[in-house]
Structure formats: structure tokens, C-alpha cells
Amino acid sequence: MAKNVKLVFKPEIEFRLIGISSHENDYHLSWAINQKFGVNLTRQENLVIFHKKLKEKQEFSLYSFDDEDNLYLYNLISNTGENGFLFPEMRNIDFFLQIYGKPGDDFIINLISRLNQINIISTSFLIDTGILKNPEKLIFN
């Protein structure tokens, strides 16, 4: 008797993800982060995702900074777009700070501590990407 086998592809996550709650808009938040960390997050083309259930494209703002000295790539991504959330299961998060490279735990703890010192950020925290239903939405670089 033949069995149906379902193959599930789980992409390898090569980044760390920080959730940020802030009621400010994307450009004000990116400016505040730039000022605090001396980086240069700049506006990129929107991240475009096709939502299968809605059968339409969703767009989310995206700011990036390539730290060539430390070999990190930072992406600041909005969790909300005109027609929904990037990650509906994370509705309490306004933005994601994605960090490609190999930042250690001490680096991430320090980064979160400094983010929380920015007065327009209510809170920031490390997200376990394993809890995201579709983490592949963030694999676009």
C-alpha cells in the first residue's frame, strides 16, 4: 500500500531577530536608532510578500545598514502594512530588527539594553525564530 509522504522544508535561520514595540513611524524609529548607535539605516524598497490566503501582495517598510567592519547586516522591518501583519502571531510587535552575521549573546543583550534606552521604544526583546509560523518571510537578502 502506497503512503503519502509530506516533505516539509525548514529553512536554516542565519540571523537573530529582535522585536520592537514603538508607536512611532518607521522613519522616526530608524532615525532614533541611527542616532543611538551611530549607524546609517536607510530606506530600501518595501519587503513584498504574497499572502496566500488573501491572494494579494503585502508590503512592509524596510531599512537596512551593512556594517562592513563587524560583518553584520541590519534590517529594520515593519510588522504592519496596509493590509495586515507580516507575522499575525506577533501583533504586539511593531518592528523587527533582523541581524545577519554571527552576533553572540553578549552582543544581543547589550544591543537590546541600548535599544530600550531609546525613549520612543516601549520595549525590545529577542525573538526565538522557532515560534514564527513562516520565518522564511524574512529570508530575502
Question: What is residue 111's three-state secondary structure?
Answer: helix
Q: pTM value? A: 0.87
Residue 48 forms part of a structural domain: yes
Q: How many domains does the chain have?
A: 1
Q: Using the predicted structure, report yes or no on whether residue 1 has a pLDDT greater than 70.
A: no
Range of the domain at 55: 35-97+105-129
Q: Using the predicted structure, report yes or no on whether residue 56 has a pLDDT greater than 90.
A: no
pLDDT digits (tens, 9 = 90+) for 66-109: 999 989 999 999 999 988 899 889 999 999 999 999 899 999 99
**CA atoms of 10 and 134, how far apart (whole Å):** 9
Residue 88 forms part of a structural domain: yes
Residues 6+ apart with CB under 8 A from 84: 51, 54, 58
Residue 9 forms part of a structural domain: no
Residue 134 forms part of a structural domain: no
